[in-house]
């Protein structure tokens, strides 16, 4: 009996932990237009969940992520473009909320450094291969 | 030319050093709202309780700075901040509450147990206002000036030593 009670308490805990409110209309419901839903999904996969931090809102089951999915879907349905929805969120949460990399005053080195390294590698290779070529010429 | 070989090692040590340093730093999980120093967006929320009125943007434009407190009956830190909100209320501060994803009976139970510091409580069932003002969690407290501009954001529960800071910010917003 005691074991049963303990089991029941374990089962009951998650119900108490969450608010028990029904999710927002478009949190778990897809849009009827498949093309629009595809746009919404693509956008949601690049928006960061604010509560769970390492998941996109498409991945997360947090209530807040559901509410964000509702915003995305209802805004697209109202005729906004995916970029407008992303901008609306970054105006509120900064770059934090977006997984899509953008070139800005703080992020440009991330894009510049690989190009710089590639150029360096190219230069070194060119010098080495070029030298070997002339060495062989000299031997012959 | 030999010095060139040291570059990869130097880079490795640099990145290793940065990673090691960051591991010793406390994790920064607060996401500050970019809406501070901007206008409170237009909103209108129905009452979370029968006998306490709901709220809209118009309630924040009567010339008197107020606190906007985002909370929920299911939020544990909200219990901890309740006495400090009560103290702010005693200091004459008007606090408007936003109950996030909450049921009327749960709101009522919370307020009867921990006190009601609010003059109005709006029900934000789908985080509409939270998202509109850049709030990422519960609880959060905002200082709104008399013209409806967001002047300050406090993330997390209000503790004893935050009360004076909030009073100061309210005075600055005057």
- Residue-level pLDDT at A16: 44
Interface of B with A in 41-100 (CB under 8 A): 72-74, 100
pLDDT-derived band at B173 (thresholds 50, 70, 90) equals: very high
- Residues B31-84 have pLDDT tens digits of 999 999 999 999 999 999 999 999 999 999 999 999 999 999 999 999 999 999
- The Cα–Cα gap between A96 and B172 comes to 29
Domain ranges of chain A: 22-101, 103-140
Quick check: A67 and B34 CB within 8 A?
no
Tell which wins on pLDDT, A30 or B27: A30
- Give pTM, 2 decimals: 0.81
| Residue pair A27/A17 in contact by the 8 Å Cβ criterion | no
| Residue pair A87/A101 in contact by the 8 Å Cβ criterion | no
CA atoms in the 13 A half-sphere facing the CB of A114: 4
For residue A105, the distance in angstroms to the closest alpha carbon of chain B comes to 17
Average pLDDT, stretch B102-110? 95
- Residue-level pLDDT at B85: 97
ipTM of the complex, rounded to two decimals: 0.86
Match domain A22-101 to its CATH number in 1.10.8.640, 3.65.10.10, 3.40.50.1970, 3.40.640.10. Answer: 1.10.8.640
Asked if residue B105 has pLDDT above 50, the reply is yes
In a structure prediction context, what are the per-residue pLDDT tens digits for chain A, which is 140 residues long? 666 666 555 555 444 445 578 899 999 999 999 999 999 999 999 999 998 878 999 999 999 999 999 999 999 999 999 999 999 999 999 989 999 988 888 889 999 999 999 999 999 999 999 877 665 555 54
- Residue-level pLDDT at A134: 63
Among A17, A51, A92, whose Cβ lies nearest the Cβ of B134? A92
Task: Order the strands of the B140-144 sheet from edge to edge.
Answer: B118-124, B95-100, B66-71, B140-144, B150-155
3-class DSSP string for B56-86: EHHHHCCCCCEEEEEECCCCHHHHHHHHHHH
B71 contacts in chain A (CB < 8 Å): none
């Amino acid at each position: 009996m005691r074991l049963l009670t303990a089991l029941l308490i374990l089962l009951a805990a998650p119900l108490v932990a969450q608010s028990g409110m029904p999710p927002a209309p478009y949190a778990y419901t897809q849009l009827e237009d498949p093309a629009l839903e595809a746009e919404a999904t693509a956008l949601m996969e690049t928006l960061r969940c604010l509560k769970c931090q390492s998941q996109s809102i498409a991945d997360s089951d947090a209530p807040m992520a559901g509410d964000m999915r509702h915003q995305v879907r209802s805004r697209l349905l109202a005729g906004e473009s995916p970029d407008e929805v992303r901008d609306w969120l970054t105006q509120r949460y900064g770059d934090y909320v977006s997984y899509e990399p953008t070139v800005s005053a703080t992020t440009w080195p991330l894009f510049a450094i690989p190009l710089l390294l590639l150029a360096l590698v190219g230069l070194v290779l060119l010098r080495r291969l070029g030298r070997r070529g002339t060495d062989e010429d000299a031997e012959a | 030319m030999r010095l060139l070989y040291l570059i990869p090692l130097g880079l490795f040590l640099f990145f290793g050093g940065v990673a090691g340093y960051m591991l010793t730093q406390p994790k920064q999980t607060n996401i500050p709202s970019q809406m501070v120093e901007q206008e409170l967006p237009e909103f209108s929320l129905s009452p979370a309780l029968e006998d306490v009125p709901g709220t809209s943007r118009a309630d924040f434009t009567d010339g008197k700075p107020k606190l906007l407190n985002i909370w929920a009956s299911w939020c544990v830190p909200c219990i901890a901040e309740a006495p400090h909100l009560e103290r702010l209320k005693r200091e004459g501060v008007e606090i408007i509450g936003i109950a996030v994803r909450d049921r009327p009976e749960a709101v009522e139970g919370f307020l009867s147990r921990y006190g009601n510091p609010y003059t109005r409580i709006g029900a934000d069932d789908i985080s509409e206002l939270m998202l509109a003002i850049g709030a990422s969690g519960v609880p959060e407290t905002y200082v709104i000036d008399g013209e409806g501009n967001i002047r300050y954001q406090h993330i997390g529960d209000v503790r004893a030593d935050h009360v004076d800071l909030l009073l100061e910010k309210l005075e600055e917003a005057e």
